[in-house]
Amino acid sequence: MKSVKFTSYKNCLKYLYDLERAGIKYDLRNIRKFLKFLGDPHKEYKTVHVAGTNGKGSVSSIINSVLIENRIRTGLYTSPHILDFRERILVNGKFISRNFIIDFVNRTYALIEKIRPSFFEVTTAMAFEYFKVSGCSMAVIETGLGGRLDSTNVIRPVVSVITGISIDHTEFLGNSISSITREKGGIIKKNIPLVIGKLRPAAERILTRMAAEKNSEVIHSENEIEIRTVEKTESGFYFKMNGNREKYFFPVIGDYQTYNLSTALSCLKILEKNDIINLNTEILMKALADVKINSRYRGRFEVVSDKPKIVTDISHNLEGIKNIESNLKYFRYRKAVIIFGMMNDKNYRDCIKELRRLEHHVIFTKPEYKRAAEPELLYSILGKDKSKFDFRKNVKDAFELAQSITDKNDLILVTGSFFLVSDFLRYLNKLK
């Protein structure tokens, strides 16, 4: 008879979070041992593998939504979560069950204690097992970090996708675009097509070479699908593609989302060619309109309150910060105040340089997380001219300051780390 270590979901989750102390294990040995113990569940269904510095969450969610609208039982694995751990593992848009999580950790507890895997390794194995027992025939798998040695890189997908590439996670992936590209390109599999998004020419050349070595066809999404925005609203935008007359609505704002759409649609065309899905106009329109429901897609310039308008965004690196000004143009407001916080292992110096270029008032703060950069440190980087900037020790104090300098015609943007947005939404929910 097996011993039961955990009987409550809360204690089970605490045990999983405590595994973060082991840090990131950037190799495949543990995940292979783990999956072998489970009977290699990841080999029981077809997959799409998505990597990239930015955009992989959007691309994964779009693909997932179209698969669901095709009546395919579909798993979606993404990270990190914003409010609920179960956001990471979905089947047809529904959270993994608490009971499964408890049972999984109890069944594998002895193995976890023996091989000491990371938090991400355990959750990856959990997702793969859950998709199998849930009867999924397809799963969309987003990498956590990099690609080559990411725990998800044990699958053999129908198609591989690399969205965009920029500087991030330099301690694991290297500090140049070329080294990061080679790490991301590690998901390329022999004879498996590769879809690439909008990339710098150097990154594109490297991936093309790597794909040729694996005899993998490269599909350049920008050449495959042309997206033209025809109308912008505060809840999303309307677009046409490849010059056709049909007008589609995507319920997430941001000019950069056009690149994610072309990347996802290029991938979906391959699935259609392989007779996995039907990509007709009716299905596509419904899938795009329902992407938030089907994928629990949140935190990308999402309006969470009005008067003043409060918007959350997970722009956790330089590329994301560069999009702030163009994204704010989707909204009507008198003035904007930005609440900003990042992790201390991110490139926050360059992000702050980018924030200086904006005309908006910025308040530095931090989430309650061990890797968070101290707001005083962010503030100190500014130098002499700090006229547009403030700092507060926590999310509550930062929001109270933002409220004191805004009125109902203004906008408050909470942006930066996933953890900052998570802390803010929890605080906001307590106020309601």
Give the tens place of pLDDT for each residue, 93-121.
Answer: 999 999 999 999 999 999 999 999 999 99
Measured distance CA(33)–CA(401) in Å, rounded: 50
The pair of three-digit structure tokens given for residue 313, joined into one six-digit string: 């965004």
Domain ranges of the chain: 9-295, 302-431
Mean of pLDDT values over 38-58 = 96
The CATH number of domain 302-431, selected from 3.40.50.300, 3.90.1280.20, 3.40.50.2300, 3.90.190.20: 3.90.190.20
Per DSSP, the residues of 141-206 read: EE-SS-STT-TTTT---SEEEE----S--HHHH-SSHHHHHHHHGGG--TT--EEE-S--HHHHHH
Alpha helix (H) ranges present in 70-169?
A: 98-115, 119-133
Measured distance CA(107)–CA(109) in Å, rounded: 6
Which pLDDT band holds residue 370 (cuts at 50, 70, 90)? confident
| Top-ranked range on mean pLDDT: pick from 62-76, 299-313, 319-333 | 62-76
Handedness of CA 51, 52, 57, 58 (dihedral sign): negative
Mean of pLDDT values over 309-334 = 92
Mean of pLDDT values over 68-92 = 97
User: Topology of domain 9-295, per CATH?
Assistant: UDP-N-acetylmuramoyl-L-alanine:D-glutamate ligase (3.40.1190)
Which pLDDT band holds residue 92 (cuts at 50, 70, 90)? very high
Helices (H) and strands (E) in the chain, counts: 18, 17
User: What pLDDT was estimated at residue 81?
Assistant: 94
Mean of pLDDT values over 309-331 = 92
Q: Give SS3 for 344.
A: coil
User: What pLDDT was estimated at residue 174?
Assistant: 52
The predicted-structure confidence for 231-263, as pLDDT tens digits, reads as follows 999 999 999 999 899 999 999 999 999 999 999
Mean of pLDDT values over 29-38 = 97
376 touches 405 (CB < 8 A): no
Asked if pLDDT for residue 4 goes beyond 90, the answer is no
Asked if pLDDT for residue 37 goes beyond 60, the answer is yes
Token pair 């490139």: residue:
347
Which pLDDT band holds residue 431 (cuts at 50, 70, 90)? confident
Query: Are β-strands 46-51 and 309-313 bridged in parallel, bridged antiparallel, or unpaired?
Result: unpaired
Measured distance CA(417)–CA(316) in Å, rounded: 5
Mean pLDDT of the chain: 93
